[in-house]
Amino acid sequence: MREVVIAGVGSTPFGRLAGVPIEQVAVRAAAAALADAGIERERIGAVYLGNFISGPLNGKEVLAGLVADQLGLPNVPCTKVEGACASGGIAFRHAWLAVASGLCDAALVVGVETMTHAPTSATTAALNCAMDNENDGPSGLTFPGLFGLAWRQHAQRHGTTREQVSAVVRKNKGNGLRNPLAQMGAELTDEQIAGSASICDPLQLYDCCPTSDGAAAVVVVAKGLSTGLPRLPIDVLAAIQTRGSARIAGHPDLCSFDATVSAARRAYETAGVSPADVDVCELHDCFSIAEVIDSEDLGLVPRGHGGGWAAEGRTAVGGDVAINPSGGLLAKGHPVGATGIGQLYEVVHQLRGTHPNQVAGATVGMTHNLGGTGVACTVSLLRRSDA
């Protein structure tokens, strides 16, 4: 397998992009990534596009081909990739595989979703397609319900408090104020968080990521062919995908997601690094308690201490390990198919030293994208090529 680098990145803001067709949102991010990479479009040998619910919400599929056509790319394979909330991360892994295996020398990855135009009922129904509706559907349980249960178990086992989980919200919303692409940055107090609308006890409104539109894109290139690029190439050390249970009852423990634990372990082994080497991580905080659990599953925080570390400032920029300095899903937003690629965009800028909320001296970065009830997970590790 050949070594692979990220040569270019691009992104739209995440938020409300009213009136812009979904393929145009994707084209904006993709064109920015191609310009950032500084390579001719004729060099792109494959396109992978992460998207989850464009069919039910927009009546549009075959998005990869639509986007490639509007970009004027050559007649190359164009594949739409679906893996619920992990769609973007999976699309990236496919592009990495295509380049690493020698099938092509450069590939474009795009993630896109537009959701804010649809009624809440339609969006909820579409997102619930990420569940095993044959088995879990009759219970009426939605994703806030799942993570509400996870929070209760984590609190019972580890003593995790409302104040500790609120620290995650305050950190990420505050980080969002420093990110011009973020949808909902804010300076919040514990009282405001605890007093916001109840969604699914103990989850309050500010514990939940917002509905979002947006797109992000990256260009991956074989490292041996990356000389002369205008930007610092970022090495892809690992791009791992794993499977967890598609059913809520299939999880032996709601305080941990097996797919994340397995993906992280394989990523560290493949990259030859340890959790202590990670300077910055963009992880899947679809709900505040998800960051607590994910940080522990990734080995970045000791088991049971995710909430405590957040409250102590150890996961803030300048702490032990910076988690979600972009604002994460809680503040940046969660346009589902775009999220995994948006995380890569953020980490690439961190490793280049060009992020608006920069982690000083960041050398190794991680992204984590989790789909459905934990049925699909990707973990990627990146490093500055001059490190």
- Look at residue 139 in the predicted model and tell me its pLDDT: 82
Strands 214-222 and 106-113: antiparallel
10 Å Cβ neighbour count for 149? 15
What 3-state DSSP class applies to 362?
A: coil
Output phi, psi for 382, to 5 deg.
-125, 155
Q: In Å, what is the CA distance from 210 to each residue of 62, 282, 286, 328, 336? A: 26, 17, 9, 11, 11
Residue among 3, 35, 90, 13 nearest 367 (CA): 90
**Other C-beta atoms lying within 10 Å of the C-beta of residue 20:** 16
DSSP secondary structure, 259-319, as one string: HHHHHHHHHHHHHT--GGG--EEE---SBHHHHHHHHHHTTSS-TT-HHHHHHTTTTSTTS
pLDDT of residue 227: 85
Q: Please name the residues in contact with 386: beta carbons below 8 A apart, sequence gap of 6 or more.
A: 232
Express the helix, strand and coil content of the chain in percent, nearest 5 each.
40, 20, 40
Token duo for residue 305: 């201490």
**Annotated catalytic residue within 154, 284, 305, 334:** 334
pLDDT, residue 249, reads 86
Q: What is the pLDDT of residue 228?
A: 87
Residue pLDDT tens, the chain, 387 long: 999 999 999 999 999 999 999 999 999 999 999 999 999 999 999 999 999 999 999 999 999 999 999 999 999 999 999 999 999 999 999 999 999 999 999 999 999 999 999 999 999 999 999 999 898 888 888 899 999 999 999 999 999 999 999 999 999 999 999 999 999 999 999 999 999 999 999 999 999 999 999 999 999 999 999 888 899 999 999 999 999 999 988 998 999 999 999 999 999 999 999 999 999 999 999 999 999 999 999 999 999 999 999 999 999 999 999 999 999 999 999 999 999 999 999 999 999 999 999 999 999 999 999 999 999 999 999 999 998
Contact 209, 329 (CB under 8 A): yes
334 is catalytic: yes
Alpha-helical segments (H) within the chain: 22-37, 54-58, 63-71, 87-100, 120-127, 143-158, 162-176, 190-195, 258-271, 288-297, 306-311, 328-332, 336-352
**Residue 369: strand, helix, or coil:** strand
Residues 6 or more apart in contact with residue 46 via CB below 8 angstroms: 76, 77, 78, 79, 95, 98, 103, 104, 107, 108
Q: What is residue 119's predicted lDDT score, i.e. its pLDDT?
A: 96
Check: CB of residue 232 under 8 Å from CB of residue 352. Answer: yes
Known active-site residue 255: no
Phi, psi of 4 (to 5 degrees): -130, 145
